[in-house]
Each structure stands twice: as C-alpha cells, then as structure tokens.
Amino acid sequence: MRLLLLSTPVGPLGSGLGGGVELTLHNIAQELHQRGHSLQIVAPQGSQETLPLVGISGNLQVTAQTLERDAHISLPTNSVLANIWEYARQVEADYDLLVNFAYDWLPFYLTPFLHRPIAHLVSMGSLSLAMDQVIEHVAIQFPGTIGVHSQAQADTFAFAKQCRCLGNGLDLSRYQFQTVPNDFLAWVGRIAPEKGIEDAIAASQQTGIPLKVLGAMPDPAYWQQVCQAYPNAPVSYEGFLSTQRLQQILGQCRGLLMTPRWVEAFGNVAIEALACGVPVIAYRRGGPAEIVQHGKTGWLVEPDSVEGLVQAIARLDQIDRHTCRQQAEAQYSMSAMGNRVEAWFNDILRSAN
Ligand code: UDP
C-alpha cells in the first residue's frame, strides 16, 4: 500500500502536545514501513520523526478537549490543519489510502470531496456536538472507515456500532522489564484537567509514597494550582521525556496511577507501564478499564475515589510484575497492532474499489 499519514494539527510530533497520538502515529508508521508498505507522514513543521516526513507550516489548532461541548468550529489564520489537507489534496493521486490522525472537523468534512479513501483513526471519545455530527456523517457515508482504540471510547458516540476497535501497540523492545521496583509511584501524561492528576497527588500525600510526574505541561498555571492545593505531597516533576528516558523511570516504579476524569480513549501510558512490568492502578472508566486485568496486572478503582487509590496502592505487592509484561507481549505488540491496522486498511480499500 502507498499510505499518506496525516498528523494532528495541535502540535509538532515530539512536542507532547498531541498526547498519545504522537506515539500511536509513529508506531503504526514504523510497523507498516517494516511490512514493506511505502508511506509519507505529513505533520506540523518542527516535527521530529525518523520516517519520511513532510513538515507543513501554519498556526496550530486549539485542542478539542479544552473547548465546550457546543463550541463552534474554528480555525486560525494560516491554519496548519488547512495547509496539511491542502497538501493532501495536491498529492492524493500518488497514494492508495489517506490516514487521518486529527480529531478535527475539517478532515471529516473534506472526506467526500477527496478522491482517495480516508481511514480516520479517532483518538478521543465524544467531546463536541459538531464533531459528533461530522464523524457520524462519515461513518454512515463511508462504512468501516472510522477506527477507535477501545469499546468504551466507541460507546461515547451514537454511532458506536459503526466504529472499528483497534486497541493499540508498542515496540516492546524499547521497554525494558524491571523486576524490582523502588518505593515510588508514577503518574504519566499531559498535565491537563481531564487527566485528574490532583487525585494521584492526594493519594501520594495520604500514603507518603513519593510520586514522579512525567509529561507535557501545556498550562503551567494549572500545575502550580494543583501543587499549592497539596503542599505536603512528596511529588517531583521530571519533565516531558523521550520514550527511552520515560521507560527507565517508569520501570523503577511500584505502580502507575491513572486518574482520568474523562473517558480516556485508550491510555498509551497503561500499556507502556505494563511493558516495563509495572502494575497499573486506574479508575474503572474508559480505555484503562479494558486494559488492566483487575487483580492480575493492576487494580481498577471506583472512579474519582482517592480512598480507592490508597487501598489499591496498599495491594500493589500482590501483583506479579512478570504477568504485567506478559500481558503487554500477548496483546500490545507491534505485530498484533500491525495485523489489526493492516486488516482495517485492506477492508477499506476493498470496499472503495
Ligand atoms: N509521553 C512521553 N513522555 C513523557 C510523558 C508521556 O512521550 O514524559 C507520552 C506517552 O508515551 C504517551 C503519551 O505521552 O504516548 C500520552 O498518551 P495517552 O494515550 O496516555 O494520553 P493522551 O495524552 O493521548 O490523552
């Protein structure tokens, strides 16, 4: 296949602003390239990527999760999103399939106007009325072209049955299994309100177990506000790290805390932790609830219950770290993900012809 992969317009690849989409896009591209497909990635200028990449200039898009449910669709002047899709229009004849990674209105709206089929990998659950509507139109007009990461994510949409669930996968050779942890916990992700870091910090304060925080910080004022609310919590911010550094620190942790307020579409960080042998404590909501095997590879906790987190932390020693790594190997390898994605693309091409 000749594939054109169109990235998110909220930030350059490698910035962390795109959240899990950045790693997902890289891993899918890597695996399909390995399988002999030819591909080109199109992403905002300044992106870091070892695979073939075209950088597109323009102003970034505001992230959808910061907007109200009834927000209007908006684009800045000289929009990088519009520029990326203008580029797609110019070169589409050289490709068999376009793959959209942007959770934005424009690529869905443009779908009937382009000549090549488009696979849309939707990275978040329902957030806005305008997005729901435009995605649903595509789901009905082009059946089978909407991919999601978890059933819980699909279920946030009225058109759940039209979604193809693809999970996700990792290059497990990049994550080292670590048998013996140090006495600290980890919280990994974008430091943003929908990720609920406050609860992890509250649990760290109650248990006295240090918490290492890793991830992009789009809004430092929010982080300051959270830290001020828990002045005695033993928390350290480690920065936004490369996968290499991330897995080193994460692998040393007793457990990863996942405390999302929203329906997390998947939660790449859950499978990254498992790959290092780190049990995951997560709220029983969204993608993590489909990943964590309660009592085997972590604990699922009543959503928004700090007390539940504290109780689960006390039971971390009951989880065998080998079982965590084994789950990652069985379900979230690059080849398992590649098989699912390749089959999806083949089905789309078959119905387009
Ligand atoms: N991440 C990273 N460095 C860090 C912290 C996080 O590269 O220091 C990456 C991590 O590998 C994961 C992403 O940030 O791919 C977070 O994605 P996730 O699916 O957990 O949540 P999202 O941000 O998409 O809601």
Please determine, for residue 227, whether its predicted confidence score (pLDDT) is greater than 90. yes
pLDDT at residue number 294: 98
Q: What is the pLDDT of residues 243-268, one digit of tens each?
A: 999 999 999 999 999 999 999 999 99
Closest to 255 measured CA to CA, from 208, 312, 170: 312
Instruction: Please tell me the total count of domains within the chain.
Output: 2
**99 backbone dihedrals φ, ψ, rounded to 5°:** -120, 120
Q: What is the pLDDT of residues 168-222, one digit of tens each?
A: 999 999 999 999 899 999 999 999 999 999 999 999 999 999 999 999 999 999 9
Looking at the fold, whether 207 and 218 belong to one and the same domain comes out as: yes
Q: What is the pLDDT of residues 88-121, one digit of tens each?
A: 999 999 999 999 999 999 999 999 999 999 999 9
| Cα–ligand 1 centroid distance for 42 (angstroms) | 20
pLDDT at residue number 29: 98
Both tokens of residue 232?
Answer: 């005695």
Q: Tell me the average pLDDT across 312-323.
A: 98
pLDDT at residue number 167: 97
| Cα–ligand 1 centroid distance for 189 (angstroms) | 5
Q: What is the pLDDT of residues 276-294, one digit of tens each?
A: 999 999 999 999 999 999 9
pLDDT at residue number 210: 98
Please determine, for residue 345, whether its predicted confidence score (pLDDT) is greater than 90. yes
Looking at the fold, whether 206 and 118 belong to one and the same domain comes out as: no
Average pLDDT, the chain: 97
- Pocket mutation for ligand 1, best pick of 17, 21, 23, 276 (most atoms within 8 Å of C-beta): 23
64 pLDDT band, cuts 50/70/90, is: confident
Both tokens of residue 123?
Answer: 């990275």
Write the residue with the smallest CA distance to atom 25 of ligand 1: 19
Looking at the fold, whether 149 and 226 belong to one and the same domain comes out as: no
For residue 62, give every residue at least 6 positions away whose Cβ sits within 8 Å of its Cβ, in sequence order, or none: 10, 74
Q: Provide residues with CB under 6 Å of ligand 1.
A: 16, 19-20, 23, 188-190, 214-215, 240-241, 243, 246, 266-269, 272
| Cα–ligand 1 centroid distance for 18 (angstroms) | 8
Single-letter residue type at 125: G
| Cα–ligand 1 centroid distance for 338 (angstroms) | 20
Q: What is the pLDDT of residues 192-206, one digit of tens each?
A: 999 999 999 999 999
The Cα–Cα gap between 299 and 222 comes to 28
Looking at the fold, whether 7 and 38 belong to one and the same domain comes out as: yes
65 pLDDT band, cuts 50/70/90, is: confident
Q: Tell me the average pLDDT across 327-333.
A: 97
| Cα–ligand 1 centroid distance for 301 (angstroms) | 21
161 burial level (CB within 10 Å; 0-12, 13-18, 19+):
exposed
CATH code at position 218: 3.40.50.2000
Looking at the fold, whether 197 and 278 belong to one and the same domain comes out as: yes
Could you give the strand order of the β-sheet that contains 185-188, starting from the edge strand earlier in sequence? 235-239, 211-214, 185-188, 255-258, 280-283, 298-301
Q: Tell me the average pLDDT across 71-94.
A: 97
Single-letter residue type at 227: C
Single-letter residue type at 326: Q
Residue 255 pairs in a beta bridge with 185
Looking at the fold, whether 36 and 86 belong to one and the same domain comes out as: yes
Looking at the fold, whether 121 and 259 belong to one and the same domain comes out as: no
Domain that holds residue 240: 172-331
Write the residue with the smallest CA distance to atom 23 of ligand 1: 19
Write the residue with the smallest CA distance to atom 16 of ligand 1: 20
Q: In the Cβ-directed half-sphere of 12, how many Cα atoms lie within 13 Å? A: 14
Looking at the fold, whether 24 and 165 belong to one and the same domain comes out as: yes
pLDDT at residue number 66: 85
Residue 243: strand, helix, or coil: helix
The Cα–Cα gap between 22 and 14 comes to 7
- Across the chain, where does the E strand assignment appear? 2-6, 38-44, 53-56, 97-100, 118-121, 146-148, 164-165, 185-188, 211-214, 235-239, 255-258, 280-283, 298-301
The atom of ligand 1 lying closest to the CA of 239 is: 8
Looking at the fold, whether 176 and 325 belong to one and the same domain comes out as: yes
The atom of ligand 1 lying closest to the CA of 195 is: 25
pLDDT at residue number 353: 81
| Cα–ligand 1 centroid distance for 298 (angstroms) | 19
Q: What is the pLDDT of residues 12-34, one digit of tens each?
A: 999 999 999 999 999 999 999 99
Looking at the fold, whether 16 and 69 belong to one and the same domain comes out as: yes
Write the residue with the smallest CA distance to atom 24 of ligand 1: 20
